[in-house]
Amino acid sequence: MAISLLYYAQEFLRGEWVKKFLAAKTAPLQIPTYFRNYPELTGKTCTHQLYCMMACPAPGAIDVVMTPDGWMPRIHVGHCIRCGLCVEACPNGVLTSGRILESMFYDNTKLSFSFRIDVDTDKCMGCGNCAVACPVNKLIDAQMSHGGRASTDELLLKVSEGKCQVLHVEKCTGCKTCEHHCPNEAIRVARLLEAVHAPEEEL
């Protein structure tokens, strides 16, 4: 009996085993370098085209601010969901995250934007706030008066017969200014993002 206990003790109390049992640790886990983390600046010049803000699905995650070095996108941690759409959307490659830029280069893809504007005619009261606020309209007809009535049909939005009408949806830049200025929530802008293969200039 005593001998067999001694035998077991000798077998199981090997210093190496005991040390491993008490102090074994797996290597600390590292975040892999290819992880699509919060977008970072590459140092390229931002030209304030705001594609990043148009693409971003998370409220309050990104804005573009004027810094002493010019326009710069700022990512807000706690709002950003690390989707990487801003990285893909930027035409100048200002942002980078994980392997997005490399795979866009190899796959020859880019994001294409289009917008859809829906006006709920039951809610719209024809006040024209949307047409007056729209920055695209402002460029076409700077004289547009309140009420949104205008003579030219080149405008993006105008009010006619007491309702807002969308004339040239292809001119929309997706800024959603109209949405914010509509008192009735009658106008809605939907962003349609498509990843297109082989951008047109190379077709």
Q: What residues line the site for ligand SF4 (CB under 6 A)? A: 39, 55-56, 58, 61-62, 75, 80-86, 117, 119, 124-130, 133-134, 136, 156-157, 159, 164, 172-178, 181-182, 184, 186-187, 189
Interacting partner of 9 out of ligand SF4, another protein, none (Cβ under 5 to 8 A depending on kind): none
> Could you tell me the smallest distance in angstroms from the CB atom of residue 180 to another protein?
10
According to DSSP, the residues that pair with 196 across neighbouring strands are 110
> Could you tell me the smallest distance in angstroms from the CB atom of residue 2 to ligand SF4?
60
Nearest CA to 182 out of 118, 124, 115 is that of 124
Determine contact, residues 131/157, Cβ cutoff 8 Å: yes
Interacting partner of 117 out of ligand SF4, another protein, none (Cβ under 5 to 8 A depending on kind): ligand SF4
> Could you tell me the smallest distance in angstroms from the CB atom of residue 24 to another protein?
7
CA 173/CA 170 separation, integer angstroms: 8
Q: Which is nearer to ligand SF4, 43 or 78 (CB)?
A: 78
> Could you tell me the smallest distance in angstroms from the CB atom of residue 122 to ligand SF4?
11
Interacting partner of 177 out of ligand SF4, another protein, none (Cβ under 5 to 8 A depending on kind): ligand SF4
Chain residues binding another protein by CB under 8 A are 24-26, 29-31, 35, 57-60, 77-82
CA 189/CA 194 separation, integer angstroms: 16
Residue 105: both structure tokens together: 């280069």
> Could you tell me the smallest distance in angstroms from the CB atom of residue 26 to another protein?
6
CA 57/CA 78 separation, integer angstroms: 14
Which residues fall within 8 angstroms of residue 159, CB to CB, at 6 or more apart? 126, 127, 128, 131, 147, 148, 149, 165
Q: Which is nearer to another protein, 8 or 35 (CB)?
A: 35
Residue 111: both structure tokens together: 């994001």
Residue 157 backbone phi and psi in degrees, to 5: -125, 145
Q: Which is nearer to ligand SF4, 46 or 159 (CB)?
A: 159
> Could you tell me the smallest distance in angstroms from the CB atom of residue 97 to another protein?
13
Interacting partner of 35 out of another protein, ligand SF4, none (Cβ under 5 to 8 A depending on kind): another protein
CA 147/CA 130 separation, integer angstroms: 9
Which residues fall within 8 angstroms of residue 148, CB to CB, at 6 or more apart? 126, 127, 128, 129, 130, 131, 132, 157, 158, 159, 164
